[in-house]
Amino acid sequence: MDSAAQSSPARQPTVKEVAKLAGVSPMTVSRTLAGGKNVRPEVQDRVLEAVHALGYYRNENARSIRPGQASGLIGVAITNLGNPYYGNFALGVEEVAAQYGRRIVLGNTGEDPGRERQLIADLIGRQVEGLIVVPTGDQATHLQPESLRGTPLVLASRSVTGVAADAVVLDDVGGAYRGTRTLLDAGHRRIGYLGNVTSVFTGRRRYEGYLRALEEAGIEVDPDLVRRGQQDVETASVAMRELMDLADPPTAVFSANNRNTIGALKEIGARLNSADGEVGALPAIVSFDDFELAEMMPVPVTVVDHDARELGREAARLLFDRLLGEAEPGRIREIEMPTQVRVVRA
């Protein structure tokens, strides 16, 4: 398609050349690329054909990283596209990639390290220019520069020990600590924990924040109150049921991610809907990750909120900095994004 541009990478097409080829004014080219307002569909088609034929990119930065054989693709591996958190994350990545004239090839790993390995090898085989990966676990081999054949990598949301790559993560420890603190400040002493296994970066760090808050308050962790490893709503509901069925159940629960939160709340709802007026005290919930309709819940809810879309944007920015040669070679950047504790329903 853009063989003309590829054969002479030093020579970049101008908007004037695009306009000439399409038989329109440069203004019409600009309007079309800005969304097509006030430009007839047929004319837009002609302009876009010319854009592709010449390999024209609007963004000046994009030009400077446009090598002869670039695929124009960024590989993105996420763990669960059905989780709105990751949908918004992908939106953020796509938004920044589009500014550089790049598209995203998206794959879902389903929290399966085997599928992650396959996906990444496959994306490398397709010659993506860069990779943004939400890693499923602690395996590092397939994320080493040799396995990636030098393709720049950014880890997002989770980091991996032994992988020297740029990373953007959340302030997991601080967010979990402050979330748990709100429960302690409200007088709770038996605080349950629902979350991921500690082999997952975020699972480990959020548990650490929970522990730190308890220790600071002089409370020893009761292992009966800690349930880890639930990755979907169904298993989270079961874990919550176990907590609520304890002889001495928790008066509050810290949930380390939105899948666990939804599962816990569904279990509370099931008890409310089935009970004959003898529900008893229901636990307050603190949720790492915001969720829709939190203000409608029958129990107090506090969320540890953060911006998934901005996390995606930031991951993409780190990657394009590398691709543009604007990041210092050999110097790894780790960005920690802030979280906000917000009382949704007291």
**Contact between 296 and a second copy (CB under 8 A)?**
yes
The count of chain residues that interact with a second copy, using the rule CB under 8 A, is: 69
Using CB under 8 A as the binding rule, whether residue 2 contacts a second copy is answered as yes
User: Does residue 81 belong to the site contacting a second copy (CB under 8 A)?
Assistant: yes
- Separation of alpha carbons 101 and 247, rounded Å: 59
Q: Closer CB to a second copy, residue 107 or residue 209?
A: 107
What 232-237 contacts at long range (C-beta under 8 Å, 24+ apart), as own/partner pairs, is 232/259, 232/263, 233/259, 233/262, 233/263, 233/266, 234/263, 235/263, 236/194, 236/260, 236/261, 236/262, 236/263, 236/264, 237/263, 237/264, 237/266, 237/267, 237/270
Q: Is 64 in the site for a second copy (CB under 8 A)?
A: no
- Show contacts with a second copy in window 275-294 (CB under 8 A): 291-293
Q: Which one of 28, 79, 83, 237 is in contact with a second copy (CB under 8 A)?
A: 83
Query: How are beta strands 340-345 and 301-305 bridged, if at all?
Result: antiparallel
Residue 59 contacts a second copy per CB under 8 A: no
Rounded Cα distance between 190 and 219, Å, is 9
Residue 186 as a binder of a second copy (CB under 8 A): the answer is no
Q: Which of residues 226-245 bind a second copy (CB under 8 A)?
A: 233
Q: How many CA atoms lie within 13 A of 6 on its CB side?
A: 10
Binder of a second copy out of 103, 162, 238, 336 (CB under 8 A): 103
137 binds a second copy (CB under 8 A): no
Q: How far is the CB of 41 from a second copy (least distance, A)?
A: 4
Select from 41, 150, 329, 330 the one that contacts a second copy (CB under 8 A). Answer: 41
> Whole-number minimum distance, CB 99 to a second copy, in Å?
13
Distance CA 103, CA 39 (A): 24
Among positions 5, 18, 21, 33, the unique one binding a second copy when judged by CB under 8 A:
33
Within 303-332, the residues that bind a second copy by CB under 8 A are 309
| CB distance 200 to 139 below 8 Å | no
265 binds a second copy (CB under 8 A): yes
Closest contact distance (angstroms) between CB of 237 and a second copy is: 12
Q: How far is the CB of 189 from a second copy (least distance, A)?
A: 27
Query: In the complex with a second copy, which residue's Cβ is closer, 122 or 224?
Result: 122
Long-range contacts of 227-232 (CB under 8 A, 24+ apart): 227/192, 227/193, 227/194, 227/195, 228/193, 228/194, 228/195, 228/196, 228/197, 228/198, 228/203, 229/196, 229/197, 230/194, 230/195, 230/196, 230/259, 230/260, 230/263, 231/111, 231/196, 231/259, 232/259, 232/263
Find where tokens 């994004």 sit. Answer: 337
Binding site for a second copy (CB under 8 A): 1-2, 32-33, 35-37, 41-42, 44-45, 48-49, 51-52, 72-73, 81-84, 86-88, 90-91, 94, 98, 103-108, 112-115, 117-118, 121-127, 139, 141-142, 147, 233, 262, 265-266, 268-270, 272-273, 291-293, 295-298, 309, 345
